[in-house]
Chain A
Amino acid sequence: MNRSIRPVHPSPSWALAALLLLGCETTPPDGTPVDAGADVPTADAGSVPPTDAPAVDGGADVPTAACAPLASDYTPRAAMSSTDTWAACVSDRGEYVRFDMSTSSIARTTAFERIHLDAANGRSAGLFDPSRDPAPEEFTAARMVYLEPEGLDSRLVRRTDEHHPQPSPSNDCRMAGVVAANPDYCAGPARLLPIITASFRDGQLGTTGTPPRVLAARIEASLLWFFYLSVYKESLTCATATADCDSAWAYYTGGVQRGEARHAALSRYVLALEPATHDRIWDGILAVRCWRDLDRANPAADAVLRERARDQLDRALTRGVAVVLRSRLRAIARASAAEAPAHLAFVQVIAPLLDRVARARSAADADRLGSLLAVTDPRSLDADGAVATLDRLFPCP
């Protein structure tokens, strides 16, 4: 059976089926009736207090110390790159040197954090806190952030997955026809946008039966997927617009250096879970910057060096996503009955992101992972099996 990891499209029928299986069609797990007008979120008794760390189980349990960089990798943290094969470049000091002091992508990672923290309402944990069900008004507030002009939505609706070949004759994912014909390449509008739009809608309505935290988890996973795609996409288009290297850095880190606090978006998750993987992603970010320093032509001329850098970055980044995924798998087992579906929803949205790489490494494991995750009840999930499969597929950054 070739059962790949498919994206979850939260259609009403799917949601209904899931809810029927979960036995929580009309009320949230804590018994509080869903009130579309309520603006006070409910919390699960005994759940972990909200923090600004990702909702995870506290880190990976697979050591990555045995992992070593490839011979072609750029390793600025090792004697300032003096031991690798890369020529000296601006990244050797281990800091990201920006092309432009203003990087608009930072604002989009900030928007993600604003949704996460809901600082506007004085909460320390916002929409993505799986320990409680956000109120409809919280979805509305978060959606306003998501839809800010030039914000997350503005880029997500046209985000491409450059892992896939550019379609011909047109690769313009602004066009509905191109999107429909190339859903893998036009991943933003084809894969992510339907999940996000439906989840916000159902969350705002508050009457669809799907637990609000499940909807929020889908939004969270979709946005992390967006950041992952964005890092890779910007590292490609940096060949013609150097500021896009800054965007690649910003979409991962939120616009900070490796050792700084206040990492945002994807880096906040990875750093909290597996610092070694975070460091390897950082090396990849610097590798891309190093390539553009060594290849200053416009457009860039050294495609070989570019792909070396991007491969390094993508390998580490994929591991980073796997780390986030496995942490949610681990969390399912320890979560309350109300919280577990949110983790499962997160996993089921983001898992398809890894299917392409997984399948390239082991079709059998990719199928196995797909099968393991294709459950509707978190209690029936073989989390250990899924984690083990993940670790086989993505052992090193």
Chain B
Amino acid sequence: MRARPPGCRRPPARRPALAAALGLLSAGTAAHAQDLDSGTATVRNERGSAEARGRSSGEVTREELEERAPRSSPDALRFVPGVTIQQTAHGQASPFVRGLTGQQVLLLFDGVRMNTGVYRQGPNQYFFTVDAQSIERLEVVRGSASVRWGSDAIGGAVLATPREPTLDRARRGVTLHPGARLRYGTADAELGGRAELDAQLGRSVAVLVGGAYRDVGPLESSGPIRALATGRVPPVPYFEADGRTQRGTGFQEGTFDARAVVRLRHDLHAVAAVYGYRQYDAPRTDLCPPAYGSDRECLRYEEQFRTLAYAALRGNAGPRVRELDVVLSYQRSHERRRLDRPLSAATNGFVDDVDTLGLAVRAATARARLAGTPARPLTLRARYGVEAYRDGVASASWITFTDVGITRRYSRGQYVDGARMLQGGAWLEAELGYGPHLRVRAGARLAGAAASAAADPTSATQPVDTSALAGLGRAGIEWHPSAALALLANVDQGLRVPNLDDLTSRQQAGPGFQFENPALSPERSTTYELGARLRLAWLEVEAWGYAMTLGGAITRALRAAAECPAMTPQCAASWSRFQLINATGVSVVAGAEGSIRLQLPWGVSVVATAAYAWGEGPSTEAGVTARVPLSRRPPLNGTVEARWRHTGTGVYVGAAMRWAADQTRLAPSDLGDARIPLGGTPGYAVLDLRVGWRWRDHLRAGVSLENALDSPYRVHGSSINGPGRSLLFSLATRL
């Protein structure tokens, strides 16, 4: 729950963690300051929000967003340990958290669930629909977290916090802060900009409105990579004659946002906001052209739209109801795809719309002192909430014969038209504190879901009428043996109820044709993690080790052609066929992630991260008892980022390296995935250089030299290779 009032910006001059560390050093054992809102003792040596307190988490601040100039919101997460960003297309990207992605990672925007009932197995493009320019902070909570956030938080949760309008109690009248940003990149001729207005109307109303547009051209890489097994160039992506430019890249994008905040009391606000994303003509790189089809064939997302509107009441609603957050939301996701087959004078069209209504209520109690002394109080604080989201799906598909202008509609789309899903739950978490050294946390959730879809005899689609009810829990302990050191242990359960994609979809996925299974049950995970944090003035170290068990994992099972649903010829005609099933055994993901942050003299800082996730599960092949690797697990990977900053002039210089080892542990379904080269994806090391200048809050100019060594590279599981050596310019002004 966010307690930070709108417009409360972080000090720009110092990194928050560094500030906290410096504060720790100076305060010694008095590091546990008073929480001004609650008036109770709170451990303050935390990066990140209260959402992630006591958890393994990573954060990207606005300042980091501005200096790194990411190409998208997923791209902004590349430096968070334990997170890798897979890209099936230039205009799509999917964060992997602890080796999981798609339906198994929950995305939240300002506390509103982004995951809809049609989030699919494997990578998806939906986090790309969050405009990074509208974001104040990104946070990743690693590991299962369904007690707090509900279904889908198996591998973790990604929390996007939008920027707030400036609301200054001392101001009267109308205050306007217009701003503009421009951006140009040479790798893909990206040219875009944003205009915004930050306005305060009187003492209690503030509005931030903005709109952005960018045109992104074909992406030039450093050339193809080579398959580990054969040394040959993989069939995906398709390179133009220059050997560097990747076909099936480029897109246009427009965004808009408006956020109004009304201060009702000093600690209670009403918020009304709308965020829109409009993407046009974004080809899916691995299918534009397909690995084994005509080079003129192309699947493109003609329209990828998302609109989120919500109204919220946030703040403290009295001494007993703290951090209240009541959000009524509406989200519409619209996807229109077109498969062009010019040689055959045909196009296939698809449209899938999802309308989601949501209501979430969360709150916390004040911290109550149960016993103990003022120096070592025994305190208790509870957080609780309920939420419900309802999805309605409209889906259709058709074929157009372009040479005769005839269009015929198929009986069903990717999903069953009119399918419905309702999910939600109630949860309670309690935090018991003993002085400044110990926190014990526990929680439970009762989750429920129901889905329904009509039968379609023409396509032999079975009806769906299913429901599930589950209870889950979590527990954690955080011990501070000293002011600088914290040791943490958590056990968290995760849950994912099968959604409408699992239950109704038929689609040509990367590894083959996937068809529905209306009889799926929820998959459940339990994450066990141990962590340690050391925070000194000049050094921060954080390390986590974890193991996650996944029971009844919803996974792809190879199917014979004879098992295809009737009236679905493309199923039997595909090289591989899959059906989602609940695995009969337990899958395991184990790994570690860590980071080191060094604050050196003369304004130099160095941050290094590393992460590894190992996963295996039962084979879904009949008669095979050997366990197999889980699909698309990222290899050992990490980052090193160094920065020098001159506080007097605002000049900063940085260098960053992202690296990954070879990934040769492939799941059976990976072997037929054209996105994964034969034998696996080769490792890489990519160096970026940055320089920039910031003049207070009014002007910022930056230049990044991406991939300075021009190294061909691809993130495991992606369709596209990363940008080649190129420049990225950014300019921002604010009056």
Contact = CB atoms under 8 A, between A and B. Distances in A.
A158 B296 CA distance: 11
A79 interface: no
Contact of A157 (B344, B399, B570, B575): B344
Given A104-B575, A110-B569, A150-B574, A158 B292 contact: yes
A153 B570 contact: no
A102 B560 contact: yes
A148 interface: yes
Interface stretch (B354-362, B403-411, B546-554, B642-650): B403-411
Contacts of B572: 102, 104, 106-107, 110
Contacts of A174: 289, 292-295
A110 B345 CA distance: 23
B561 interface: yes
Contact of A201 (B292, B345, B569, B575): B345
A189 B561 contact: no
A8 to B, nearest CB: 19
Contacts of A306: none
Interface in B250-293: 289, 292-293
B577 A150 contact: no
B682 to A, nearest CB: 22
B403 A201 contact: yes
Given A107-B561, A197-B344, A197-B403, A148 B570 contact: yes
B326 interface: no
B296 A176 contact: yes
B513 interface: yes
A151 B513 CA distance: 13
B399 A144 contact: yes
A213 to B, nearest CB: 19
Contact of A107 (B294, B297, B399, B569): B569
B561 A104 contact: yes
Interface string A94-106: 0000000111101
A371 to B, nearest CB: 32
A204 B295 CA distance: 26
B314 interface: no
Interface residues of A, number: 33
Interface in A150-208: 150-151, 153-154, 157-158, 174-176, 189, 193, 197, 200-201, 204-205
Interface string A38-68: 0000000000000000000000000000000
B508 interface: yes
Count chain A CB atoms within 10 A of each CB in B292, B294, B562 and give the residue with the most.
B294
Contacts of B508: 149-150
Nearest to A197: B345
B573 A148 contact: yes
A77 interface: no
Contacts of B562: 101-102
A197 B346 CA distance: 10
B348 interface: yes
A108 interface: yes
Count chain B CB atoms within 10 A of each CB in A143, A144, A150 and give the residue with the most.
A150
A110 to B, nearest CB: 7
Contact of A149 (B294, B295, B345, B573): B573
Chain B interface size, under 10 / 10 to 19 / 20 to 34 / 35 or more:
20 to 34
A147 interface: yes
Given A174-B292, A201-B404, A150 B344 contact: no
Nearest to B561: A102
Interface of A is mostly: helix
A147 B569 contact: no
A210 to B, nearest CB: 14
A174 B399 CA distance: 22
Nearest to B289: A174
A144 B344 contact: no
A27 interface: no
Contacts of B577: 102
A336 interface: no
Interface string B658-675: 000000000000000000
Contacts of B341: 147, 153, 157
B401 interface: yes
A106 B343 CA distance: 24
A316 interface: no
Given A111-B569, A151-B569, A153-B344, A140 B401 contact: yes
Contacts of B345: 197, 201
A341 B562 CA distance: 40
A140 B294 contact: no
A108 B289 CA distance: 21
A102 B578 CA distance: 12
A181 to B, nearest CB: 14
Given A107-B570, A153-B341, A176-B296, 7 more contacts: A103-B561, A104-B572, A106-B561, A114-B569, A144-B408, A145-B569, A158-B293
16 contacts: A101-B560, A107-B573, A110-B569, A110-B572, A111-B573, A114-B569, A147-B344, A147-B399, A149-B573, A151-B573, A158-B292, A174-B292, A176-B295, A193-B343, A193-B344, A200-B401
Interface of A: 101-104, 106-108, 110-111, 114, 140, 143-145, 147-151, 153-154, 157-158, 174-176, 189, 193, 197, 200-201, 204-205
Interface of B: 289, 292-297, 341, 343-346, 348, 399, 401, 403-404, 406, 408, 508, 513, 559-562, 569-570, 572-575, 577
